[in-house]
Amino acid sequence: MHFENRHHYSGSLNREMYFNKYGHAGVPFIIFPSAGGSQHEFADFGVIEACRHVIDAGLVQFYTPESIDSESWLATNRSPHEQADWHNRYDSYIIHEFLPLIRYESNWEGRIGVAGCSMGGFHSVNFALRHPDVFGIVIAMSGVYDARFFTGDYGHAQNVYENSPLDYLWRMEDPWFIDRYRQNAYIICVGQGNWEEPHIYDTRRLQEVFFAKSIPAWFDYWGHDVPHDWEAWRQQMPYFLDQLHQQGRLHG
């Protein structure tokens, strides 16, 4: 498997940002880590190895950026507005700095994939809904989709609202967004075992708004023996990639 451990300077964040690349060809995916996780997380917990068959086949290539969650949504010493402001800096980095790098070196002009588990699931859905012209495939595992999970009552902080899918999606009427949502592939998965209660709750709420907006999506509830843990995500990620390949959405 082709592997690179790299970094580049981000003007949006005023720092070096580290990321890994796995694979040599195929649909690029940005993989967001779980809460406070590093760019090595998907490899450290065996998910890269579990997906080796699709990576080595040239169907996908994974880009795993580090997070700044400890400065944004996990920074409980900051106001909700400040938390969201830091996230928006990260959004600017991903869209205006990291994405062009991916497009250039992979020679990929179409929509790319995005995936993650736990907080990475939140990021995957939020980035995909905010930028539906960029992200055409979403695999979100065990996420929460209401920013209040991180901020509590955020009052009138508009920038928090704009990063809370369960808020802004209900009010979304813009046909530019709705039309693109309906073209994209959304896989929203959650287990029903230990530590999944808030994630089940938010997944059902997200399913309700997708249905109300007539946005096609696959909401998949795994068994009561499936916990909020890496043992589940190691099974889910390759399973969904295989399903996407069978649907013709992955190609080398």
- Per residue in 176-220, pLDDT tens? 999 999 999 999 999 999 999 999 999 999 999 999 999 999 999
The β-bridge relationship of strands 15-22 and 60-65 is antiparallel
Is residue 2 classed as helix, strand or coil in its secondary structure?
Answer: coil
Q: What DSSP string runs through 179-245?
A: HHHTTSEEEEEE--STT-HHHHHHHHHHHHHHHHTT---EEEE--TT--SSHHHHHHHHHHHHHHHH
Strands (E), 15-59: 15-22, 27-32
Collect the ranges in the chain with pLDDT lower than 50. Answer: none
pTM: 0.97
For residue 21, the cross-strand partners are 4, 63
Residue 36 is predicted with a pLDDT of 80
Fold of 3-246: Rossmann fold (3.40.50)
Is residue 137 classed as helix, strand or coil in its secondary structure?
Answer: strand
Q: What is the mean pLDDT of the chain?
A: 97
Instruction: Tell me the domain boundaries of the chain.
Output: 3-246
Residue 194 is predicted with a pLDDT of 97
Question: Running DSSP on this structure, what letter comes out for residue 98?
Answer: I
Is residue 10 classed as helix, strand or coil in its secondary structure?
Answer: strand
Sheet of 112-117: strand order equals 3-10, 15-22, 60-65, 27-32, 112-117, 135-141, 185-190, 218-221
Residue 252 is predicted with a pLDDT of 55
Q: Which residues of 26-38 are buried (b: 16+ CB within 10 A; e: fewer)?
A: bbbbbbbbbeebb
95/12 Cα distance (integer angstroms): 10
Residue 83 is predicted with a pLDDT of 98
The position carrying tokens 């990576």 is 55
